[in-house]
Amino acid sequence: MSLSDLPDLAALDKDGALEEAHAGLTRAGFIVGSAIGGLALWLPSSASAAKIPASDQDVLNYALVLEYLQAAFYTESERAGALKGKAKKAATTVGAVERAHVKAFRDLLGKKAVGKPQFDFQGVTEDQKKFLKTAVAFEDLAVAAYKGQARRLKSKAVLTSALGIHTVEARHAAWMRYLNGNVPATAAFDRPLTRPAINKIVASTNFIVQKKPKTSSRRKPRYTG
Amino acid sequence: MSHEFVENQAVSRRRVIRRAAVAAGGALAAATAVGAADRLHAQPSNEKDAKALNLLLLIDRAEVAFYTAALENAGLSGELEEFAQTALGHEREHVSYLEGALGSAAEDEPEYDFGESTSDVDAFARSAAKLEDIAVGAYNGQATNVSPGAFLAAARIVSVEARHAAWIRSIRDGDPAPNAVDTAYDEARVRRELRELGVPA
């Protein structure tokens, strides 16, 4: 199977990400067959979202908002240029993964995917200490959120994927904790958090802005993820 | 430094991004292919629970034995000692939970042969990372086989195993989270990888 065998790829691949990914994989010396197989599965369609139970779509959209938040945070931190050494490397790697999560959820949900909120990270992306502290909070929050939502998922395949992301968030949490000088694993059992609890914590940060920031803001306009 | 860590560090940013994107997309989009036939079992049986929990018990007991032996014989100090002590405490609690949940259905504990992994610092760090990865893969793999109560406990344990896996790699300057999605291991893979570490499985 080659790329040209895929149905109307260019029409679906508006931002060129699939083509670019394919080129990158080939250059990196991956086994082309399996790479294409992965991409074929990855193709978004409204039919695929329709096969997922509505309640699962709801959970995935909830997770998508948290992934938007994380992806924007790492992307902005990378661009702000205040990170050095291991923190910089971690932000780059983790940011790429969170962006991949966003893309995967959006592709899976198709037209049902919620839009990206606007963010204002209140300057925490411009200072390494604040960055690490916030990263620890975000990653621990994501672990607790996935854990809280997992039991609501009805589709076995969606659940398996969500669990696989849940443990990646836990790895990120431990990594950021290590870099921030915190113990990476503080208890034998991690606690789940409910949606209201998560929402309350996210709201308290004021990172999600509902309206476009006024241009008269005293700060320069920021990258909003 | 092990080959694994060296290799992980050599992975370029670009390749990490590609690999992450494809892994996440592939795993999630695979979900779309199954559709309505793919609902979780409404009523997992006690027998199914026992089979799954015994597999997890095998791993957590092996972790307890591994960290105990390493703390006695590997000359661990500093961060490595702190990690081993902390992980050991957590794994003991996991074993207690699993033994309690299984009751008389708990299988006997095997004898281990960890080789130099519990007497050499570098070998210890490599095996610890591998053992914790096996635990993550096994818990993720068995999560869909157990009843709701056991599922919740497993979900609370698996992220701690993932934290351990990332912690030991952080100490050794490895890549703590090399993939965008952690793979769920089936039973055969869990047993094969455990055997490679000296755990009769």
Distance, CA of A124 to CA of A20 (rounded, Å): 32
How many A/B residue pairs have CB atoms within 8 Å? 243
Q: Amino acid identity of B194?
A: L
Q: Output the pTM of the full model.
A: 0.79
Q: Is A191 left (phi over 0), alpha (psi -120 to 50) or beta?
A: beta
Banded pLDDT at B23 (limits 50, 70, 90):
low
CA closest to A45 among chain B residues:
B32
> What pLDDT score does B47 carry?
87
Residues in chain A with CB shorter than 8 Å from the CB of B158 are 163, 166-167, 170
> What pLDDT score does A33 carry?
25
The minimal CB distance from B29 to the residues A108, A160, A184 is found for: A108
Span A159-201, pLDDT tens digits: 999 999 999 999 999 999 999 999 999 999 999 999 999 999 9
Alpha carbon of A43: minimum distance to chain B alpha carbons (Å): 8
Alpha carbon of B189: minimum distance to chain A alpha carbons (Å): 16
* Cβ–Cβ gap A167/B182 under 8 Å: yes
> Fold for domain B3-196?
Ferritin (1.20.1260)
> What pLDDT score does A156 carry?
87
Span A97-106, pLDDT tens digits: 999 999 999 9
Which DSSP letter does residue B172 get?
Answer: T
* Cβ–Cβ gap A49/B18 under 8 Å: no
Residues in chain B with CB shorter than 8 Å from the CB of A87 are none
- Given the structure tokens 């039991």, which residue do they identify? A151
Q: Which residues of chain A have pLDDT under 70?
A: 1-50, 211-225
> What pLDDT score does A219 carry?
55
Spell out the domains of chain A, with CATH numbers in brackets: 1-43 (no CATH), 53-209 (1.20.1260.10)
Residues in chain B with CB shorter than 8 Å from the CB of A37 are 26
Domain boundaries, chain B: 3-196
Span B124-164, pLDDT tens digits: 999 999 999 999 999 999 998 999 889 999 999 999 999 99
Prediction ipTM score: 0.83
> What pLDDT score does B157 carry?
97
A132: contact with B, CB 8 A cutoff:
no
